[in-house]
Amino acid sequence: MIHWGFIGCGNVTEKKSGPAFGKVKGSGVAAVMRRNAELAKDYAMRHNINKWYSDAHALINDNDVTAVYVSTPPGSHAEYAIAAMKAGKPVYVEKPMAASYEECVAMSEVANETGVPCFVAYYRRTLPYFLRVKQLLESREIGEPGEVKIRFIIPPYSSDLSWETLPWRVKKEVAGAGYFYDLASHQLDYLDFIFGEITEVSGTAKNVAGLYDVEDTVDGEWLHKSGVRGSGHWEFAAPVKERTDEIEIIGSRGSIRFSTFHFTPIVLNNASGEKIYTEENPENIQFYLIQSIVNYLNGNGDYPISDFRSAMRTNWVMDKMLG
């Protein structure tokens, strides 16, 4: 039985991840931590968790906690994950893995030295929607894939429009960068999963709108070890009606189009015509990855498909694009 301790219990844990730790067989939540003790207590009471803390290291050192979920902003991932691994407790870290590639390297060194597992929450690797795209590629529905294009364009969030309400995701000291780090990480990790690691990358980052200090527009080009070439354009301060969330994979005999966040129908085009695929997500979107981690830690499953080794590659790619 894995008894989890949550470091950070904000919005992501309310539905996306938190409930899954209690639903998976052989898993439960022993304690939660938040810097605000009242908020930690409130979360624990609402989710029937017996212990709460306002100090992360107290939670890590709790003997009832056997594994740690780090769901704070990226700026503190390295500190807490390293402390947990040094305490001999497996770690599941929210994405991106850390606020910089250098911090990922520090985490990986401790994971290798201690032999303590360190997994990262790139759960799209386990979702039926994205596994369908992988299956279409593997069954050669578009022949040999040669190119992948990402276009992600959204207007500013309302909280971006005032310096008083800026969210942590656009504060470099907390997030590592801006929305690019938070959102593009999912896309680039998934491409690493289906096409192999990225070996060459370049990019440019700009702050066009001046709403905050970090980048709001990024362009990148890269090459996968498999030979697939990629390009991407990300805008986070576009005009109000501009919204694009699309990845297109172009092969020798067709193409596949799909989204990252909106789960629009997958569109396959090849010599047979156009085919549409839809897939259902689990109620708690991280469920399948958490299930695989719990099964492995309990000795009942294969090694999970998202760990520090693959996750740090994504940080490397993003840091290269941002210069």
In a domain, 104, yes or no: yes
Kindly give, in sequence order, each residue whose CB lies less than 8 Å from that of residue 206, ignoring residues fewer than 6 positions away.
215, 216, 217, 218
For residue 91, CA distances in Å to 5, 294, 306 come to 10, 11, 12
In a domain, 235, yes or no: yes
CA count, 13 A, side-chain hemisphere, 162: 4
Q: Is the same domain home to 15 and 115? A: yes
pLDDT tens for the 323 residues of the chain, in order: 999 999 999 899 999 999 999 999 999 999 999 999 999 999 999 999 999 999 999 999 999 999 999 999 999 999 999 999 999 999 999 999 999 999 999 999 999 999 999 999 999 999 999 999 999 999 999 999 999 999 999 999 999 999 999 999 999 999 999 999 999 999 999 999 999 999 999 999 999 999 999 999 999 999 999 999 999 999 999 999 999 999 999 999 999 999 999 999 999 999 999 999 999 999 999 999 999 999 999 999 999 999 999 999 999 999 999 99
Q: Is the same domain home to 154 and 271? A: yes
- What does DSSP assign to residue 181? I
Q: Is the same domain home to 146 and 114? A: no
Residue 298: CATH number of its domain: 3.40.50.720
Q: Is the same domain home to 9 and 73? A: yes
Residue 144: CATH number of its domain: 3.30.360.10
Range of the domain at 65: 2-123+285-307
In a domain, 316, yes or no: no
In a domain, 7, yes or no: yes
In a domain, 156, yes or no: yes
Q: What is the pLDDT of residues 255-296, one digit of tens each?
A: 999 999 999 999 999 999 999 999 999 999 999 999 999 999
The total number of structural domains that make up the chain: 2
Q: Is the same domain home to 291 and 265? A: no
| Integer Rg of the chain from CA | 20
Rounded Cα distance, 99 and 105, in Å:
11
